[in-house]
Chain A
Amino acid sequence: MKAQIDSIKQAALAAVEEADGTQALGEVRVRFLGKSGEMTSLMKGLSALSKEERPEMGKLLNEARTEIEAALELKLAAARESEKAARLQAEAVDVTLPGRAPRTGTLHPITQVREDIVKVFLGMGFEVAEGPEIESDLYNFQLLNVPKDHPARDMQDTFYVNDSYVLRTHTSPMQARMMTTKKPPIRVVIPGRVYRSDDDASHSPIFHQIEGLAVDRYITMGDLEGCLTAFAQQMFTKETKIRLRPSYFPFTEPSVEVDVTCAICGGKGCRVCKGTGWVEILGAGIVNPAVLEMCGIDSRQYSGFAFGLGLERIAMIKYGIPNIKLFYENDVRFLKQFNGEVER
């Protein structure tokens, strides 16, 4: 029997040695160690041996079995590893192939710019309000210090519904609506659609503005500058500077145009800023005391600032959009471009 054990063991070890892969090794296990395997059959033959022989043969048998197991396990582990490696290699993909993304949409660039700007002002304690787009002449003009037949009416080409109603030419009428309905302190931004009967290469008859208004006991031009600097730096870059230039709007006094350092060249001068290093982005000023008074706010106690900016203009600067018409064609190849802006 000893010789038999030895020969089976040798055969098994040889078979292990020869077997290639986990499947072949499995077959080897079954052949030698399985329920009806060769070693198992020998095990069963033990009972036929004499009491004296049995322990010794049993021990031998066990040793042989352990040896085979060990060899098998060793080989099996190696085979598993190499098979896994082969599988992983076979599973390699072309990592440059397109991904399978869930389809997501986009917000219109005007909405994105609007929300970016609103966010900046929310942080400075402003609330958001909106107002009617079909407006009365009273709120669109008269309460803003533009009486009927005043030359300042020529500053804006107006769409009229009749003598008393217009499509609002700016978001400024909401200044008057806020001041006539709320008590200072007031800090509000008013985004919305506005209308001018102007349709050429650089104008759209519909565009968007954001109006800003702050009224309190002691509001200065310095506060306006600080507020707009914070806005410009968050909107463009932290290095952006602003510049105030004297100008005229009937509802602010003093009035200013606000320029920012050109985001394209950083102020060195380029085609976008026409070599000046500055780009005009908005009009602003100290609320005209006449407007405060018309809206029922005591101009001796209170002062305020107001500003109005065009969202299209900001979006064009920010994204490098060359033509205002693109915003309203709504070609999906345009609409899909403006996602995933990272805040700076």
Chain B
Amino acid sequence: MLAPVSWLKDYVDINVSPEKLAEKLVAIGFEVEGIEYQAKKATSVKTCKILSVEKHPNADKLRVAQVDIGGKTIQVVTNVAVEGGEYTAVALDGAVLADGKTIKRGELRGVLSEGMFCGPEEIGFTAADIDGQKEDDILRFAEGTELGIDAAVALGFDDVVLDVSVTANRPDCNSIYKLAKEVAVALGTECREPEIGYKATGASVNEVVSVTVKDKDLCPRYMAACVRDVKIFPSPEKIRRRLRAVGIRPINNIVDITNYVLIEIGQPMHAFDSRYLAGGKIVVRRAEEGEHIVTLDGKDNTLNSSMLAICDAEKPVAVAGIMGGEYSGIQPDTSTIVFESAKFARDSVRRTSRALNLRSDSSARFEKGIDFASQEYGLERALTLVYETGSGVIGKGVIDVKVNYEKVRDVRFTTAKLRRILGCAVPEKQLVAILSRLGIPVEKEEDGVFTAHVPDARSDIEGVNDIAEEFIRVYGYSHVKPTLFAHSALTRGGVPADIAFRNRVKGELVSLGLNECITYSFTSPVFADRLRIPADSELRRTVELVNPLGEALSVMRTVLTHSMLEVLAYNAAHFNKSASLFEIAKTYHPKSLPLTELPEEKEKLVIGMYGADADYFALKGVLDGLFRALRVEPGYTRSSLAFLHPGRGADIEVEGSVIGYAGEIHPDVASEYGADVRLYAAELDLDALVKLCTAGARFKEFSKYPPVERDLAVVVSDDVQAGDMIAAVKEAGIADMTDAEVFDVYRGAQVGEGMKSIAMNFSFASPVRTLTDDAIASEMAKILALLEGKFDAKIRA
């Protein structure tokens, strides 16, 4: 909330700088987000008098003025139609304006100009902030205004405004009065009470209005008073200035008084024109289903029976605590008004305000919560201001309809318990002194138990922990000394297996040269079409947000590939020649729609790459490296996924279940993502993979004898897959064979149409002897026979 220091000073003496005051407030729990010196939004903008004006010799639209800035005359070139004799404001050489612009002396069309005449915007205000100020005009001061002083000060803008952030547990402090109480605590001084003093001379309020509260659960207190012979005029300067300082535009004396009280006491008020209260009645009740009210802002609202309305004998005249009806407010000819000062239940105001999409300063205040004492303070303060400003004749008596409430709540505690919360010694004397300064009297009983009498306004204080906080925020956290579980049991700690597995996978991928990325969990619903996901696929069933930041961020993703392709395209479009990336993140799969239980969140891994070194085999190489590290042996079969290149995609299978895919992205899909390079991607189900990773490292005997290698090239039909051949050889139980791999594939005229040559390398080693040529030859013969039989392979000449 915005708190002008001058206003705080009505209640508490402040003898420290605004900076020091801010520091003290922060220390007791009120963060100060800004300190605004009204007069310092611009520098070196001074009052001046224009002595004489001549035409500019070289420009028709410019004039040259001689200007008295208080004992010194300067020359200003201007395009403002000044005549001479005006009192205005001029920015001098070196002035910094509110928008940050610097003014320098210099020549304008060959004539020296030593400043610039200023309007309200140049010193950080608007025309509306200044009485009589015209739009798009320079500032105008009265004849005889002192020259050479700060223009803002001359206008009366000399306050310092603190922007105090009030936490949600202290709704009471959204008022100057209660904030001043905290200032007094922070400074160790006393706080004064609101000034109340007026004479009620008019006929009784009961002759003007009667109040019936039907729904006391939503309106625990309703107070009303009346003012007759109301005169409508602009408020006094002080009130208008203070309202402007906190960002409220002055309207007229009566409206200003309600706003002034809202800021000063924290009590929202409403002033009804009694002519529009049919039957002279105020009935506070839940609206009837479908009842209408057109509010002050011209909006037609349909109410329902959960909403509280202020009604007259016939109809709603206000949405309780939120906004008055269109005719309920002050008119130029208003003569009798009824002030409402009520307490409405905060959750009801909040629900209604959101349901109707209707907000006001009043509803914002009610939503935070209001205590029982404010209604009285607010009404009395408003009547005092009516009296002081001569705004009308105050009717005798006030109407006060209220429920019984606890003025004081008792909280019992011991200093031992406080010590157990805070971990520091709690001297009783200071404890009692601090709480009493906070308006919480404390009594000590014989058994050492304290009782704190907490006033209604401090609804946040419910138990001993709250007492501990009140004490320590004033006593100071510097009294708490760091300990490391001084009175606690040892605990084991540790990382669960699934998180450890993820970290392991990340580590492997980094060592394989990939960079980790992190993308948004929500995405555009177009992802499913982009990835050609079949219409009946479960992956199209998504959790949707009701209030997304936009269509493009509106559904929780069921796949990671979409985000990865976006990242690859982004990098390709931003001068990066290559990228090799991965992400491990969750995908979200609803069990029911609409959601009635938590969706399943699956952990997935996506890999993506592009660039000169990227191709299907570079991608598969990364996967091979990962699977080797995880001791998993996957199988690859040609994939039919529609977003992949039809000839360069594989489904990845481990122990009979498909756990993902790898491949080149179909060029049509890549171009839909805006990529003009080939993209490669793979996505794996990590939750499935972790279950398949059961094997740990085991020692295996290795041969001390020299290994022997043999190459073999065979010609097979083009549709034979090399992986199948290697797998068949590995399964055939070839004696002493330690490895088998493909090292070359050749297609061309030499091997014939529809055929290819596959060159393989086989390693042999025996743990017990040096292998003889004969022994190896016989095993190689077995291999060849196997390949001939199973794959119709012919040895390549």
Contact = CB atoms under 8 A, between A and B. Distances in A.
A223 B368 contact: no
Given A132-B598, A197-B547, A256-B477, A327 B424 contact: no
Contact of A128 (B29, B477, B499, B543): B499
A122 B500 CA distance: 13
Contacts of A230: 484
Interface in B499-537: 499, 503, 506, 509-522
Contacts of B188: none
Contact of B346 (A151, A160, A247): A151
A311 B33 CA distance: 23
Interface string A224-255: 01110110000000000001111110100111
A329 B486 CA distance: 44
B471 to A, nearest CB: 9
Nearest to B506: A107
Contact of B483 (A108, A193, A220): A220
Interface string A117-137: 010011011111110111110
Contact of A221 (B346, B421, B484, B490): B421
Nearest to B579: A332
B516 A105 contact: yes
A152 interface: yes
B484 A160 contact: no
Contact of A151 (B368, B518, B586): B368
A217 B488 contact: yes
A289 B171 CA distance: 22
Interface in A95-146: 102-108, 110-111, 115, 118, 121-122, 124-130, 132-136
Interface string A76-109: 0000000000000000000000000011111110
A124 B515 contact: no
A148 interface: yes
A253 to B, nearest CB: 4
Contact of B488 (A129, A132, A155, A185): A185
Counting chain A CB atoms within 10 Å of each CB, the highest count among B518, B567, B576, B579 belongs to B518
Contacts of A331: 570-571, 574, 576
Interface string B156-170: 000000000001111
A154 B168 contact: yes
Given A165-B595, A248-B167, A255-B469, A226 B484 contact: yes
Given A134-B601, A229-B482, A289-B463, A248 B29 contact: yes
B217 interface: no
Given A128-B499, A133-B586, A219 B488 contact: yes
B493 A187 contact: yes
B547 to A, nearest CB: 6
B27 A245 contact: yes
Interface in A277-295: 286, 288-290
B16 interface: no
A223 B484 contact: yes
A159 B484 contact: no
B544 A161 contact: yes
B547 A160 contact: yes
Interface in B463-480: 463-466, 468-469, 472-473, 477, 480
A57 to B, nearest CB: 52
Nearest to A122: B493
B546 A125 contact: no
B331 interface: no
Interface residues of A, number: 88
A17 to B, nearest CB: 47
Contacts of B514: 105
A115 B503 contact: yes
Contacts of B420: 218, 220, 303
A327 B520 CA distance: 11
A271 interface: no
A294 to B, nearest CB: 14
A78 B544 CA distance: 84
Contacts of A253: 465-466, 468-469
B170 A197 contact: no
| Overall SS of chain A's interface | mixed
Contact of B170 (A161, A205, A248): A248
Contact of B543 (A102, A161, A254): A161
A328 B506 contact: no
A127 to B, nearest CB: 5
B553 interface: yes
Given A105-B510, A205-B520, A303-B421, A222 B601 contact: no
B763 to A, nearest CB: 24
A73 to B, nearest CB: 37
A103 B368 CA distance: 57
Contacts of B549: 197, 199, 205
Counting chain B CB atoms within 10 Å of each CB, the highest count among A227, A244, A335 belongs to A335
A177 B521 CA distance: 22
B472 A254 contact: yes
B469 A336 contact: no
Contacts of B519: 328, 330
B510 A128 contact: no
Contact of A223 (B486, B493, B509, B520): B486
Interface string B418-445: 0111111000000000000000000000
B210 to A, nearest CB: 31
Given A197-B549, A222-B423, A223-B485, A247 B167 contact: yes
Contact of A106 (B167, B369, B482, B510): B510
Given A136-B598, A151-B350, A286 B421 contact: yes
B491 interface: yes
A47 interface: no
A127 B493 contact: yes
A159 B548 contact: yes
Counting chain A CB atoms within 10 Å of each CB, the highest count among B480, B489, B510, B585 belongs to B480
A248 B571 CA distance: 42
Contact of A107 (B350, B473, B516, B599): B516
A124 B485 CA distance: 9
B675 interface: no
Contacts of B548: 159, 197
A300 to B, nearest CB: 9
Contacts of A11: none
A206 B485 contact: no
Interface in B578-604: 579-582, 585-586, 588, 594-596, 598-599, 601
Counting chain B CB atoms within 10 Å of each CB, the highest count among A102, A150, A244, A254 belongs to A254
Contacts of B169: 152, 248, 250
A225 B423 CA distance: 10
A167 interface: yes
B421 A151 contact: no
Contacts of A132: 598, 601
Given A108-B518, A187-B493, A332-B579, A222 B477 contact: no
A176 interface: no
B26 interface: yes
B402 to A, nearest CB: 23
Contacts of A186: 491
Contact of B469 (A122, A199, A254, A303): A254
Q: What are the 4 tightest A-B residue pairs by CB atom distance, in nearest-first order?
A: A222-B423, A220-B423, A246-B29, A248-B167
Given A136-B598, A286-B465, 16 more contacts: A124-B493, A133-B521, A134-B556, A134-B601, A197-B549, A216-B488, A218-B486, A218-B488, A223-B423, A246-B29, A246-B473, A250-B168, A290-B463, A331-B571, A333-B576, A335-B517
Interface of A: 102-108, 110-111, 115, 118, 121-122, 124-130, 132-136, 148-152, 154-155, 159-162, 164-165, 167, 185-187, 193, 195, 197, 199, 205-206, 214, 216-223, 225-227, 229-230, 243-248, 250, 253-257, 286, 288-290, 303, 327-333, 335-336
13 contacts: A104-B511, A148-B347, A149-B351, A159-B522, A160-B546, A161-B595, A162-B595, A164-B596, A206-B521, A229-B482, A247-B167, A329-B570, A331-B570
